[in-house]
């Protein structure tokens, strides 16, 4: 059969634990990693968990939607103020995985398609939200200011820097989707190898490890950069009326407030009502909620251990697969 060589089969509840942790409890870990594209890291873990659930589940009993419901309810319980687009992304991943992994035929091809689609959705969602919040006129003004700055230093650039930046951002997500899609089918063998050959990174993992994680004041940071960009536009594109600059600022703040104070609560309320009404394993939900704090401490302890023994891409590989190994050992007393 085409697919994963199943030397090790992670349990359904262990995959849910890792997925729920990625969606709700991973903030401190990402802060410690200083990872610039957190969506890629979280999305990669979600892709891995959904694909493995799809492979190891009974073909006649698709459990991906049940897992999705539990993950969303855990996310609502632990991170109720997560941005609305995060919930949209999780729902998209869950339903796409449910549709694709109804059978194990052509599994590797399905994983690749699933990974690419999830990564592109994440990137395009952010691009569309940027256009919605700032508007095309403001982004064109940024381009005009950037071109003026380059001309002032004798560089002749006529291409849209904004669109180029968006293109690079989407392309990076596309490449990441391909890499993850090709890598995921090898994970069970990696788990088996890691448990046998790399026991040192799992020795003495401390669930009581404490790490400080303070949310950055992204709102004030964003507002500062908004004023800075407006000042640069006023300086290097003097033809733009000052009234337009005030309109750019008002429009951006107004749409941001609407998304945060109106759209986000509506989406969270809809998800809460929809998935609280679904039939799920209540004991599995309670167990996942109970294990998240302990698992978070061990995940951070694992990070410290991986940092000591690996560098570069190996560090990321063993950290992600290591999270699965830690979850699989979470039932041990």
> Is 333 a member of any domain?
no
Is residue 147 in a domain? no
pTM assigned to the model: 0.82
Q: Which domain holds residue 75?
A: 12-121+159-213+268-328
| pLDDT at 138 exceeding the cut of 80 | no
User: Does residue 19 lie in a domain region?
Assistant: yes
**pLDDT at site 1:** 41
Asked whether residue 181 is domain-assigned, the answer is: yes
d(CA 151, CA 172): 28
pLDDT per residue as tens digits for the range 164-178 = 888 999 999 999 999
Residue 240 maps to a domain: no
Of 113-117, 141-145, 172-176, 294-298, least confident by mean pLDDT is: 141-145
pLDDT at 267: 85
Q: What integer pLDDT is reported at residue 318 of this predicted model?
A: 79
Cβ(209)–Cβ(300) below 8 Å: yes
Structure tokens at 287: 């167990």
Q: Does residue 199 belong to any structural domain of this protein?
A: yes
> Which residue is associated with the tokens 């590989």?
317
Which residue's structure tokens are 């904004």? 162
Residue 137 lies in a domain: no
- Number of domains composing the chain: 1
In a domain, 246, yes or no: no
Joined together, the tokens standing for residue 140 give 């064109």
- Whether residue 34 is predicted with pLDDT greater than 80 in this model: the reply is no
């Amino acid at each position: 059969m085409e697919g994963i060589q199943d030397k090790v089969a992670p349990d359904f509840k262990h995959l849910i634990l890792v997925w729920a942790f990625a969606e709700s409890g991973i903030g401190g870990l990402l802060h410690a990693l200083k990872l610039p594209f957190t969506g890629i890291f979280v999305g990669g873990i979600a892709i891995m968990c959904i694909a493995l659930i799809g492979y190891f589940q009974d073909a006649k009993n698709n459990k991906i939607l049940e897992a999705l419901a539990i993950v969303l309810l855990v996310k609502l319980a632990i991170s109720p103020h997560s941005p609305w687009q995060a919930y949209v992304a999780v729902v998209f991943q869950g339903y796409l995985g449910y549709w694709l992994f109804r059978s194990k035929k052509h599994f590797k091809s399905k994983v690749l398609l699933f990974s690419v689609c999830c990564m592109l959705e994440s990137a395009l969602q952010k691009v569309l939200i940027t256009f919605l919040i700032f508007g095309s006129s403001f982004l064109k003004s940024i381009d005009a200011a950037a071109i003026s700055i380059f001309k002032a230093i004798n560089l002749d650039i006529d291409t849209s820097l904004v669109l180029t930046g968006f293109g690079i951002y989407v392309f990076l997500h596309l490449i990441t989707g391909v890499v993850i899609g090709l890598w995921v089918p090898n994970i069970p063998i990696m788990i088996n190898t890691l448990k046998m050959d790399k026991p040192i990174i799992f020795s003495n993992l401390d669930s009581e490890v404490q790490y400080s994680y303070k949310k950055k004041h992204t709102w004030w940071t964003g507002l500062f950069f908004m004023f800075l960009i407006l000042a640069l536009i006023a300086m290097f594109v003097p033809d733009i009326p000052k009234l337009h600059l005030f309109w750019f600022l008002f429009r951006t703040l107004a749409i941001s407030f609407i998304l945060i104070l109106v759209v986000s609560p509506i989406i969270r309320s809809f998800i809460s009502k929809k998935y609280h009404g679904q039939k799920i394993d209540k004991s599995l939900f309670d167990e996942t909620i109970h294990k998240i704090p302990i698992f978070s401490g061990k995940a951070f302890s694992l990070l410290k251990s991986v940092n000591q023994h690996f560098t570069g891409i190996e560090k990321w590989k063993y950290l992600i697969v290591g999270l699965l190994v830690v979850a699989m050992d979470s039932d041990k007393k």
